Chain A
């Protein structure tokens, strides 16, 4: 059974810093990995999707990497802003379904 872990569960950093969020998974037989952002009361917003054959994806200040063999992914956020405060979830797709981590709650301190 696939298990997805995100550590730390919560993170606070001053505005302007670069930061890294971590995601690990136990079964490397995945199609892809997806990073989401969740704001209170607003559901999930897809940030980046990395196919299993890819090593990284970039969108603006966000860069996600994938090391399938070691079961790890990182989400790098450059020059953090207060608007980046949210919960970040990673999810891996395999066996026809997404398996989610429990998320990292990020707070950017102005």
Chain B
């Protein structure tokens, strides 16, 4: 079984809809991250969480919100989706402490029409 799972794997939605992407991990890691990947731009950090009560904005947090429901679960929400949020979204986890190896989920491909 995969250590980091994401649901759904693919989603097509319309402009203005609310969307939630979910991430679960069985690695027992404290830190969780959300990234988006766009062609030619690489992966960019949206939000990250060091534990359930510690959530931080990344470089491109506008238009997104997150919830850390438990150590193992970290959800990303788009309150009102827009077409330029069409991207591949990845969740990642790592142990606490600076510079630990990050482990990625399989990604969610989101298309906003």
Contacts and interface: CB of A to CB of B under 8 A. Distances in A.
Given A41-B106, A43-B104, A43-B106, A98 B45 contact: yes
B90 A43 contact: yes
Interface string A43-61: 1111001011000000000
B45 A97 contact: yes
A3 to B, nearest CB: 10
A31 B45 CA distance: 17
Contact of A89 (B42, B44, B103): B42
Contacts, number: 49
Contact of A97 (B42, B48, B101): B48
A100 B33 CA distance: 14
Interface string B102-113: 111111000000
Contacts of B44: 100
A93 to B, nearest CB: 5
Interface residues of A, number: 24
B101 A34 contact: yes
A89 B104 CA distance: 13
Nearest to A90: B42
Contacts of A63: none
A34 B45 CA distance: 16
A100 B41 CA distance: 9
B67 to A, nearest CB: 20
B48 A103 contact: no
A97 B58 contact: yes
Contacts of A91: 43
Contacts of A52: 99
Contacts of A41: 106-107
A45 B42 CA distance: 15
Interface in A93-107: 93, 96-98, 100-103
Closest 10 CB pairs of A and B: A31-B99, A44-B104, A43-B106, A100-B42, A100-B43, A102-B42, A32-B99, A93-B99, A43-B107, A43-B104
